């Protein structure tokens, strides 16, 4: 297998604007029957100051990829490939040096803030711990002031008085703000937000996304937003990468991916979203179930569920990514044929709809 996919995510040469560049990242778990890859030959870049959204269903490998970035996968996981952060290879870095990166250069926010915050430590202690670990010389007062600043940054009212409260004394949205404060404690270059809004009410979701954007504007950090919810992506992301079955299926600037989706899976995802701007007889769903790691087909992981799949083309090794523009690539080798076919389908479907009425 030659490294054909390595240019899937980004095909410009490494430049100073590449904060993180991931190449051929593979995460495998040992199972009863051998090895199962949660992430397979994944490549992408995160540029300075941008927000890249990693979109995929649960089990698509997006969280495993994030944990690989943090070096926080369980020991049973086997990681290969390359993770270069500011030009420095993170994979294989000794634990001690990785610890200096974690929380300082790369911060992370988890989905369920109630579980992710220590229930027996005050919020203030948990924030100051994040700061103190990387700034051992800082005195108590300075730490406290920093914690108050951080709580203010994420929009928690009366931060000084909230320092001594415990996580359970906060509401869900407030807890997620605390998580962001911890993730931003040392103003990292990259903030990974792993499903930051999934556990929250819809109205609160928007607020949290807003806090993220606010924080990003203030500090200039890059954000890697991991989500299964395309709706979350729309207002926030500069670029979008769609993952399925541990692989990158499509990657591009948000506008291209949303308005000119190239991969059948991306289209299916978009069609499954409720729309208010168009009358649709009913929401479509993608038939079938994603295959678990270890049972995935050769070639394109989506082909068992894809209506456009041709076994002789899609079932072989995954081909070179198709470049649609400087920013937009897709892993679907039939992109151009499908695009032609779809235009015809739409015309036909509209006709049929008219007839049925």
Partner 1 sequence: MTVPSHHPAERALPPTPRPADKSRRRILVERFLRHRLAVIGLLILLALMICCYGAAWVAPHPRNAQDILTGALPPSSEHWLGTDDLGRDYLTELLYAGQVSLTVGLGVAFLSTAVGTLVGAVSGLLGGWIDEVIMRITDLFLIIPAIALLALAMQTLSPSPVTIVLVLAGLGWTVIARVVRSQVISLREKEFVQAAQVLGSSRTQIVLRHLLPNLAGVIIVNASIAVAAAIILESTLSFLGFGIQPPQSSWGNLLNQAAGLVGTPKDYLLYAPGVAILLTVLAVNFLGDGLRDAFDQQSRQS
Partner 2 sequence: MGSGKVTEALRAAPAPEGRHSEGRGAQGRGRVGRSRQMLRYAVRRLAYSVPVVLVASFVFFWAVRSTFDPLTKLRQARDPGVLARESARLGLERPVLEQYGLWMKAFVTGDWGVSTRTGDRAQAMIGSALGTTLQLVGWAVLFAVVVALAIGTYSAARQYSAGDHLLTGLSYLGVAMPAFWLGLLLIQVFAIWPREQFGLEQPPLYFVGLHSPGMSGVNADYFRHLVLPVMTLTVGLIASWSRFSRASMLEALNSDYVKTARAKGVPPRRIFLRHALRNSLAPFVTVVAADTALLIGGLVVTEQIFAISGMGRLFLDSLLAGDVYVLLPWMLIVALAMVLFNLAADLGYALLDPRVTLR
**DSSP secondary-structure letter at 320?**
P
User: By CB under 8 A, is residue 107 in contact with partner 1?
Assistant: no
Beta pairing partners, 248? 243
User: By CB under 8 A, is residue 267 in contact with partner 1?
Assistant: yes
Q: Give the span between the Cα atoms of 169 and 227, in whole angstroms.
A: 27
Residue 134 interface partner, choices partner 2, partner 1, none, CB cut-off 5-8 Å depending on type: partner 2
- For residue 310, give both structure tokens: 């041709």
User: By CB under 8 A, is residue 103 in contact with partner 2?
Assistant: yes
Residue 158 interface partner, choices partner 2, partner 1, none, CB cut-off 5-8 Å depending on type: partner 2
Residue 286 interface partner, choices partner 1, partner 2, none, CB cut-off 5-8 Å depending on type: partner 1
Chain length of the chain: 357
Q: Give the span between the Cα atoms of 24 and 14, in whole angstroms.
A: 15
- For residue 286, give both structure tokens: 């993608």
The window from 49-57, 140-148, 162-170, 342-350 that contacts partner 1 (CB under 8 A) reads 342-350
SS3 percent helix, strand, coil of the chain, rounded to 5, is 40, 20, 40
Q: Give the span between the Cα atoms of 240 and 249, in whole angstroms.
A: 11
Chain centre to alpha carbon of residue 6: 18
CA-based nearest residue to 65, from 240, 234, 243, 212: 243
User: By CB under 8 A, is residue 116 in contact with partner 2?
Assistant: yes
Q: Give the span between the Cα atoms of 336 and 254, in whole angstroms.
A: 20
The one among 92, 231, 235, 287 contacting partner 1 by CB under 8 A: 287
Q: Give the span between the Cα atoms of 110 and 108, in whole angstroms.
A: 7
- For residue 70, give both structure tokens: 């943090």
Region 175-204 residues binding partner 2, contact defined as CB under 8 A: 177, 179, 182, 185, 202-204
For the bound state, the minimum distance from the C-beta of residue 66 to partner 1, rounded and expressed in Å, comes to: 25
User: By CB under 8 A, is residue 165 in contact with partner 2?
Assistant: yes
Residue closer to partner 1, measured from CB, 146 or 296: 296
User: By CB under 8 A, is residue 135 in contact with partner 2?
Assistant: no
Region 181-200 residues binding partner 1, contact defined as CB under 8 A: none
Pairing state between β 51-55 and 222-227? parallel
User: By CB under 8 A, is residue 229 in contact with partner 1?
Assistant: no
**Is residue 245 within 8 Å of residue 301, measured between CB atoms?**
yes
- For residue 185, give both structure tokens: 């404690």
User: By CB under 8 A, is residue 234 in contact with partner 2?
Assistant: yes
Task: Name residues whose C-beta falls within 8 Å of residue 48's C-beta, 6 or more positions apart in sequence.
Answer: 16, 17, 18, 19, 189, 220, 222
User: By CB under 8 A, is residue 284 in contact with partner 1?
Assistant: yes
Residue closer to partner 1, measured from CB, 71 or 304: 304
Residue closer to partner 1, measured from CB, 123 or 338: 338
User: By CB under 8 A, is residue 285 in contact with partner 1?
Assistant: yes
Q: Which spans of this chain sit near partner 2 (rule: CB under 8 A)?
A: 70, 72, 99-104, 107-108, 110, 112, 115-121, 129-130, 133-134, 155-158, 161-166, 168-171, 173-174, 177, 179, 182, 185, 202-207, 209-211, 213-214, 230-232, 234-236, 273-274, 276
Interface with partner 1 by CB under 8 A: which residues? 264, 267-268, 271-272, 280, 284-288, 291-292, 295, 297, 303-305, 307, 309, 311, 342, 345-346, 349
């Amino acid at each position: 297998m030659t490294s054909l996919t390595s240019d899937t995510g980004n095909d410009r040469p490494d430049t100073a604007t590449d904060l993180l560049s991931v190449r051929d990242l593979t995460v495998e778990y040992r199972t009863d029957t051998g090895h199962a890859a949660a992430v397979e030959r994944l490549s992408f870049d995160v540029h300075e100051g941008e927000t890249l959204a990693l979109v995929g269903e649960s089990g698509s490998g997006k969280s495993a990829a994030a944990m690989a970035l943090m070096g926080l996968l369980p020991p049973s996981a086997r990681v290969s490939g390359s993770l270069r952060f500011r030009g420095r290879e993170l994979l294989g870095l000794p634990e001690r040096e990785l610890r200096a990166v974690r929380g300082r250069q790369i911060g992370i926010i988890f989905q369920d803030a109630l579980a992710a915050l220590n229930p027996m430590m005050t919020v203030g202690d948990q924030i100051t711990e994040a700061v103190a670990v990387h700034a051992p010389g800082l005195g108590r007062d300075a730490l406290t002031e920093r914690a108050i600043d951080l709580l203010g940054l994420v929009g928690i009212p009366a931060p000084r008085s909230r320092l001594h409260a415990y996580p359970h004394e906060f509401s869900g949205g407030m807890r997620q703000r605390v998580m962001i404060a911890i993730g931003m404690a040392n103003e990292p270059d990259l903030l990974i937000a792993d499903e930051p809004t999934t556990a929250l009410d819809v109205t609160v979701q928007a607020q949290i996304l807003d806090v993220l954007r606010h924080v990003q504007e203030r500090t200039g950090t890059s954000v890697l937003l991991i989500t299964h919810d395309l709706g979350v992506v729309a207002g926030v992301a500069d670029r979008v990468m769609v993952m399925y079955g541990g692989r990158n299926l499509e990657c591009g600037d948000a506008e291209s991916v949303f308005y000119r989706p190239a991969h059948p899976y991306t289209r299916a995802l978009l069609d499954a979203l409720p729309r208010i701007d168009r009358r649709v007889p009913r929401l479509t769903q993608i038939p079938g179930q994603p295959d678990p790691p270890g049972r995935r087909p050769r070639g394109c992981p989506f082909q068992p569920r894809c209506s456009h799949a041709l076994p002789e083309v899609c079932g072989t090794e995954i081909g070179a990514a198709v470049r649609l523009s400087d920013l937009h690539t897709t892993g679907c080798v039939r992109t151009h044929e499908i695009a032609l076919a779809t235009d015809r389908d739409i015309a036909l479907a509209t006709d049929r709809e008219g007839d049925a009425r």
